[in-house]
Structure 1
Amino acid sequence: MRGAGAWAPLCLLLAAAAQPSRQQPPERPVFTCGGILTGESGFIGSEGFPGVYPPNSKCTWKITVPEGKVVVLNFRFIDLESDNLCRYDFVDVYNGHANGQRIGRFCGTFRPGALVSSGNKMMVQMISDANTAGNGFMATFSAAEPNERGDQYCGGLLERPSGSFTTPNWPDRDYPAGVTCVWHIVAPKNQLIELMFEKFDVERDNYCRYDYVAVFNGGEADDAKRIGKYCGDSPPAPIVSERNELLIQFLSDLSLTADGFIAHYTFRPKKLPTTLAPPVTTTVPVTTDLKPTVALCQQKCRRTGTLESNYCSSNFVLAGTVITTITRGGSLHATVSIINIYKEGNLAIQQAGKNMSAKVIVVCKQCPLLRRGLNYIIMGQVGEDGQGKIMPNSFIMMFKTKNQKLLNALENKQC
């Protein structure tokens, strides 16, 4: 049951959306499932907002602003079923009207900052499953000049052979709170992209949970293709794309801010040798053939060593709750909601609001045994796809609060 106080902001939003004339009393706007919207500005909202949105629905809004402008979308209110991976009820925002790059996926009550298309078209799609919870969303859209910079928005499509981009307000003052920026760099098919951060200052956090810059190979925010996630005041090492596209995502939450960054990129031919700076945590080579074999999975499942002795030989070390398990062949695929991460390596970490999770594969499904709903300390290696690989000899144990002190000490250990 939601308190009466929660409805006060909704009343103000609905009054603004109605925009009544002086001669007419205010009318509550009616939000339907999807629609075609054109013009300089407007409102969109989930079907029946502010009432509970219907189950099993798929609604699509196609927004078009005047030619030569870009679309700026601001969520004024969002309240969808919460899930750390946004798997059930969610809102997707895309560049263009068809086959466009996804700018972001949102659920729960986390309200993102302004979202900007690279052209004059944007698509918003909301999907709900059989079980719903919440009042949906309401957002405003407006047209803006593509070369504007300021508090309202940032990001865009970059196709020139070289260029620079910055956080909003750079270098005059700190970047604003509640901002989401996505830069999509596209080079010709036969070229790569080299990216360098000249100056960098983003709110520091050990796991970059609050404000961060994430860089992805390709044109989507796909965690399997994430090159790195960065915060703090040390510029990331120069980055070279695998192919001809890079996606750079900057997000600030609603609290502390900092100076921000300025970055430069340039295109270069594929034939030149590419040298990437080594990751902070050394990755131990992982066997690419991880199909479970009879001999491997018939071994006795026996944990060897201790937390201390296994720490340095593991690519990643985390404490987390197993939230999903799926058996595929002889392996177990699990999603782990992270309680704390002590050693990240190249593990792909997904984030929805403040919730973080990672995917791990137990190569022999019964060894070691992971049960849904239980808390574990998990140590393992990382495959090329960014997923954790748990072998029969990997160190796994139940996580208890008494382990916290030892794990914190290991986090500062030099391997």
Structure 2
Amino acid sequence: MRGANAWAPVCLLLAAATQLSRQQSPERPVFTCGGILTGESGFIGSEGFPGVYPPNSKCTWKITVPEGKVVVLNFRFIDLESDNLCRYDFVDVYNGHANGQRIGRFCGTFRPGALVSSGNKMMVQMISDANTAGNGFMAMFSAAEPNERGDQYCGGLLDRPSGSFKTPNWPDRDYPAGVTCVWHIVAPKNQLIELKFEKFDVERDNYCRYDYVAVFNGREVNDARRIGKYCGDIAPIYVFNSFMRNELLIQFLSDLSLTADGFIGHYKFRPKKLPTTTEQPVTTTFPVTTGLKPTVALCQQKCRRTGTLEGNYCSSDFVLAGTVITTITRDGSLHATVSIINIYKEGNLAIQQAGKNMSARLTVVCKQCPLLRRGLNYIIMGQVGEDGRGKIMPNSFIMMFKTKNQKLLDALKNKQC
């Protein structure tokens, strides 16, 4: 049961909204189910707010601010049916008006932090079921410059050659509960993105189920393109955009319970061709095929391992022992993520590292030749493309990894090719 004092903030919010709209109408604003909103700022609210919202409804608001700016959405009041997973009555917030990634889903009475789109469009959708209801929500949207925003909110478009991003309140105090931030980093088409977290402290969980940072290749939240998901107090080190893409999406999410210090990260653009290093030059050659798309002739070759560990070591750009943790078939090839047990020859292979855990992305050009199965341990030798991703051809040397191989591999690691 809500006391009289609970209505005080609602009345103040309505007074503010009325003052804002008084130029158009002397009446108190009426909130309807959805609408099209444009301009520098405005208010949206659930149907009939501050009255109880109707059951079995689906309302959509499409917000557009001036070109070149981003949308900032601040919830001033929220009172929806409470559920840990927000399965019944909830408000969804999306980037863009159609097919955009979801920035967050909210219910109950906990107000999330400010939400920021990556462009000048945002969509808000409220859905209610047939049962318990509340007084709904009221939120204010406003336009902001993409690169000139304060610390009270987070996210947006990052397209300068280098820059930083951080959790709300960093470094003065913990990040707030119930916040979702999405940073969209866009480099020129001939460049890749290098990412580094300088400080990192996000609620720890073995599976990063509660608070986490996820990094995706491209512009959308898509598990098939996820580079990694991170939490705890060990910073992910140098995540490379290892596909031939010039965009990264960084998503930070905190739930409604424990919080922590947060993080600050830095990014910079670099040419697609990996820079030279002081390491011994690699004498092996890259495959002639640049795109490495599977062809009928290539994939009809007899799939059979040839040679020995010693014989294939020097002719390979990289040599590692690892566990296959994800496999996805796309365009006739198998795209795999391998958790590295040990690396004996790295070359220019792009390695993702989170604390002591290292992984690499590989493409088996002909999806079943050689065959990699998820959950199994392999010794893998292959070439490296210009994007830093391992390329496994039908004649690449692959075998099951066994402890007895360890001594020989350690000896090969010191071998001069």
TM-score range, shorter chain: 0.5 to 0.7
Closer, same or farther: CA 146–64 of 1 in aligned 2, 3 Å: same
Distance 1:165 1:274, change over 3 A: farther
SS at match of 1:359: strand
Does structure 2 retain, via aligned residues, the 8 Å contact 1:318–1:343?
yes
Deviating more after overlay: 17-26 vs 85-94: 17-26
List per-residue Cα deviations over 1:298-330 (Å, max 9, x = no partner): 999999999999999999999999999999999
CA distance 1:122–1:9, shift in 2 (3 Å): same
Give the TM-score normalised by the residue count of structure 2: 0.55
Q: Quote the offset at 1:31 in angstroms.
A: 0.4
* 1:221 equivalent in structure 2: 221
Structure 1 position 275, deviation (Å): 16
**2:93·2:122 contact (CA, 8 Å) conserved in 1?**
yes
Judged with a 3 Å threshold, the aligned counterparts in structure 2 of structure 1 residues 408 and 73 are, in CA distance, closer, same or farther, namely farther
Q: Contact 1:96–1:123 at 8 Å: present in 2 too?
A: yes
The answer as to 2:294 corresponding to 1:295 is no
The alpha-carbon deviation at position 64 of structure 1 amounts to 2.1
Is the 8 Å Cα contact of residues 84 and 351 (structure 1) preserved in structure 2? Answer: no
Over 3 Å counting, the alpha-carbon distance change for 1:324 and 1:149 in structure 2 is: closer
Unaligned runs of 5+ in 2: 240-244
C-alpha deviation, 1:336, in angstroms: 27
Shift of 1:69: 2.3
The match for 1:4 is: 4
Whether the 8 Å CA contact 2:110–2:178 is kept in 1: the answer is: no
Change (3 A) 1:322 1:120: same
Query: Kindly tell me: are residues 137 and 313 of structure 1, through their superposed partners in 2, closer, same or farther at Cα, counting changes over 3 Å?
Result: farther
The separation in 1 between residues aligned to 2:308 and 2:86, in whole angstroms, is 36
Q: CA deviation at 1:189?
A: 7.5
Residues 48-91 of structure 1, C-alpha deviations (whole Å, 9 max, x = no match)? 11222222322221222233322110011112233333333222
Residues 25-67 of structure 1, C-alpha deviations (whole Å, 9 max, x = no match) = 9854210011122222211001111222222322221222233
Alpha carbons of structure 1 residues 280 and 314: separation in structure 2 relative to 1, 3 Å: closer
Q: Any idea what SS the aligned residue of 1:14 has?
A: helix
Q: CA 1:3–1:165 in structure 2 vs 1: closer, same or farther (change >3 Å)?
A: same
Identity %: 92
The 1:354/1:125 distance shift into structure 2, 3 A limit, reads farther
Give the SS at the match of 1:291.
coil
Deviates more, 1:188-197 or 1:323-332: 323-332
Unaligned runs of 5+ in 1: none
Find the aligned partners of 1:58 and 1:343 in 2 and give their Cα distance. Answer: 56
Instruction: Give the secondary-structure state (helix, strand or coil) at the position aligned to 2:206.
Output: coil
Q: Give the Cα separation in 1 of the matches to 2:7 and 2:319.
A: 43
Aligned to 1:19, the other structure's residue is in SS state: helix
The answer on whether the counterparts of 1:106 and 1:352 sit within 8 Å (CA) in structure 2 is no
Change (3 A) 1:257 1:327: closer
How far apart are the structure 1 equivalents of 2:407 and 2:30? 55
Label 1:167 to 1:34 Cα distance change in 2 as closer, same or farther (>3 A): same
CA distance in 2: counterparts of 1:50 and 1:407, whole angstroms: 70
Distance 1:79 1:170, change over 3 A: closer
More displaced stretch, 341-350 vs 181-190: 341-350
Bigger shift: residues 114-123 or 274-283 = 274-283
Q: Which moved more, 1:313-322 or 1:103-112?
A: 313-322
Instruction: Tell whether 2:109 aligns with 1:140.
Output: no
The answer to whether the Cα contact below 8 Å between 2:177 and 2:256 also exists between their aligned partners in 1 is yes
Three-state SS of the structure 1 residue aligned to 2:36 is: strand
Contact 1:202 1:233 in 2 (8 A): yes
Alpha carbons of 1:65 and 1:151: their partners in 2 closer, same or farther (altered >3 Å)?
same
